[in-house]
Amino acid sequence: MQYSSPTKLYDAYVFDQDGTIYLGDHLLPGAKRLIEGLRKLGKPVRFLSNNPTKDPQDYVEKLERLGIPAPLSEIANTVVTTTRWLKAHYPDATVFPISEEPLKKALREAGIKMSENPEEIDIVIASYDRTFDYRKLQIAFDAIWFHKRAFLITTNPDRYCPFPGGRGEPDAASIVAAIEACTGTKLKANMGKPEPAMLEAALGDLDVDPANCMMVGDRLHTDIGMAVNTGMASALLLTGDSTAEEAEALDPAHQPTYVLDRIDHLIPDDIRAQWGWSDSDED
């Protein structure tokens, strides 16, 4: 684990978004020029998110507003990975999504059948759902425990979604926990970070070896954990959730390759010096 800039460039760069590229509605220092610099060097970039409450097009529009144009092909979130996984493995299944509208829209568009009838449900999808209530829990309970026909998956394993200022709100893991507690079942599959499926979705259209690519994020469990699970280099940004002390406390096999306090330090020192970059510069 190095507390300094990488000394080489990688073949492709995969970025978490909130806490890494931006925080809330504000770009983090160095993010804009970092992405522009990588594109200048001909390095592909991809943007990931574990947030299933947004359509991928929402991220395109947000990055555009923040001054980082990105085509839809560069975006992958758990709406994308969940839908792809279901189409690939259970195309005829009937699902009950405990989720917000973006995932339901994607499921409809993919032709995946949805139902709230426990006698028809094959798969319960626990997601980030700010409308979660006892009625939805009862449907999941009946489908899994009473009828003994459904199994449980989740879009993402996050305990909470961070907000600017240190606040947050419960995320999908809280809904998974409620269903597991009352049914005695265990989660069968996770569609988000740290599972390699997210990186496979992000890098699938590129002719690159993941071992020569870099995952960049602010969370040890999800972002860095996914890089470790996939055999990728990783950089922990100290601009969001996890701290350097937490990284240091991990077993060396699970530590990030680099720990950085600014995202533009991903560019090696000699190239930044050649370009005349200074940490005091504004994007």
What are the catalytic residues?
A: 16, 18
User: Which position has the token pair 């699938």?
Assistant: 204
* Residue 280 is labelled as binding a ligand: no
* Residue 193 is labelled as binding a ligand: yes
Contacts of 141 (CB under 8 A, 6+ apart): 179, 182, 183
For 59, which DSSP code? H
* Residue 158 is labelled as binding a ligand: no
* Residue 122 is labelled as binding a ligand: no
Number of residues that make up the chain: 283
Measure Cα distances from 205 to 126, 155, 192 in Å: 28, 22, 19
* Residue 281 is labelled as binding a ligand: no
Can you point out the beta strands (E) in the chain? Answer: 12-16, 22-23, 26-27, 45-49, 75-77, 94-98, 113-114, 123-126, 151-154, 160-162, 168-170, 189-190, 213-217, 233-237, 258-260
Strand partners, 113: 94
* Residue 49 is labelled as binding a ligand: yes
The first and second tokens of residue 171, run together, are 């995320």
CA distance 225 to 243: 14
* Residue 87 is labelled as binding a ligand: no
Binding site for substrate: what residues are annotated?
49-51, 193
Binding site for Mg(2+): what residues are annotated?
16, 18, 218
